[in-house]
Amino acid sequence: MARGRDEHQARQGQLNALGKALARRAKSVCELCAARGPLQVVEVPPVEDEPQAEKCVLLCSHCQSQLDPAAKLDVQHWFCLNQSIWSEVPAVQVLAWRLLQRLASESWAQDLLEQVYLEPEVAAWAAAVGPKAAGTPPRDSNGQILADGDMVHIIKDLDVKGTSFVAKRGTVVKNIRTGDDPELVEGRVNNTQIMLKTAFLKKII
Ligand SMILES: [Zn+2]
């Protein structure tokens, strides 16, 4: 654990070294909401081994805290995406696009997503992460966030497509894997790797 923290600190040190170049690009304001400092360098996943300025954005603490998938989105605050989605910086566009996806129940966010055009490589980047990094983690029937390696049990008998068996209610599934669809996780039942609907799962803590 200690090692993980050291690595994290080393990475943050490398990121801070990009701060000057980013401050110039961002004109020293938050690249999403234009708030003035204190600003922090934040990577936009998926990231490379070496931190790169093109893969980073400069954010205020409020924008940064909202990136946590578990954070309740401050809808009023995110009206700022009306501006930042048109940024010329791909990393800013990607982050703004992912946030708009999380806000897609808001009609203004949907309208914006329909209007915006992302260059193909930017669109691929925006869609290149699973739900965890994109900010829409899979959740079980109780709204608990599901992550790789979690153990769940099935709360309803489920027919398994492509097989003749039923995944019985009460079946425990260990070591699930999350993917790109927040409504599905992968797990092993009857020695078969299957996709399970998160709405029919309960996390075992
Ligand atoms: Zn901000």
Residue 61 is assigned to a structural domain of this protein: yes
- Examine the domain organization and report whether 169 and 79 are in the same domain: no
Q: How far is CA 78 from CA 37, 94, 190, in A?
A: 18, 15, 45
| pLDDT of 30 | 98
Residue 135 is assigned to a structural domain of this protein: no
Domain residue limits at 120: 2-129
- Examine the domain organization and report whether 166 and 95 are in the same domain: no
Residue 146 is assigned to a structural domain of this protein: no
> How many angstroms is it from 197 CA to the middle of ligand 1?
35
**117 φψ region: left (φ > 0), alpha (ψ -120 to 50), beta (else):** beta
Decide: helix, strand or coil at residue 185. strand
Q: Any residues with CB less than 8 A from the CB of 166 and at least 6 apart, and which?
A: 157, 158, 159, 160
> How many angstroms is it from 60 CA to the middle of ligand 1?
4
> How many structural domains are present in the chain?
2
- Examine the domain organization and report whether 188 and 107 are in the same domain: no
Q: What predicted TM-score, i.e. pTM, was given to this entire model? A: 0.66
> How many angstroms is it from 144 CA to the middle of ligand 1?
27
> How many angstroms is it from 86 CA to the middle of ligand 1?
15
Residue 42 is assigned to a structural domain of this protein: yes
Q: Can you give the CATH number for the domain in which 195 is found?
A: 2.30.30.40
Residue 60 is assigned to a structural domain of this protein: yes
> How many angstroms is it from 174 CA to the middle of ligand 1?
39
Cis previous bond, 90, omega within 30: no
Q: Any residues with CB less than 8 A from the CB of 48 and at least 6 apart, and which?
A: 55
| pLDDT of 1 | 43
> How many angstroms is it from 39 CA to the middle of ligand 1?
8
| pLDDT of 175 | 94
Bridge partners of 59, per DSSP, are 40
| pLDDT of 135 | 59
Decide: helix, strand or coil at residue 28. coil
> How many angstroms is it from 22 CA to the middle of ligand 1?
14
> How many angstroms is it from 73 CA to the middle of ligand 1?
13
> How many angstroms is it from 89 CA to the middle of ligand 1?
15
Residue 67 is assigned to a structural domain of this protein: yes
> How many angstroms is it from 129 CA to the middle of ligand 1?
22
Residue 23 is assigned to a structural domain of this protein: yes
Q: Residue-wise pLDDT tens for the chain (205 aa)?
A: 445 678 888 888 899 899 999 999 999 999 999 999 799 999 998 888 889 999 999 999 999 999 987 788 999 999 999 999 999 999 999 999 999 988 988 999 999 999 999 999 999 999 887 655 555 778 899 988 888 899 999 999 988 877 788 999 999 999 999 887 788 899 999 888 999 999 999 999 8
- Examine the domain organization and report whether 57 and 95 are in the same domain: yes
> How many angstroms is it from 161 CA to the middle of ligand 1?
45
| pLDDT of 38 | 93
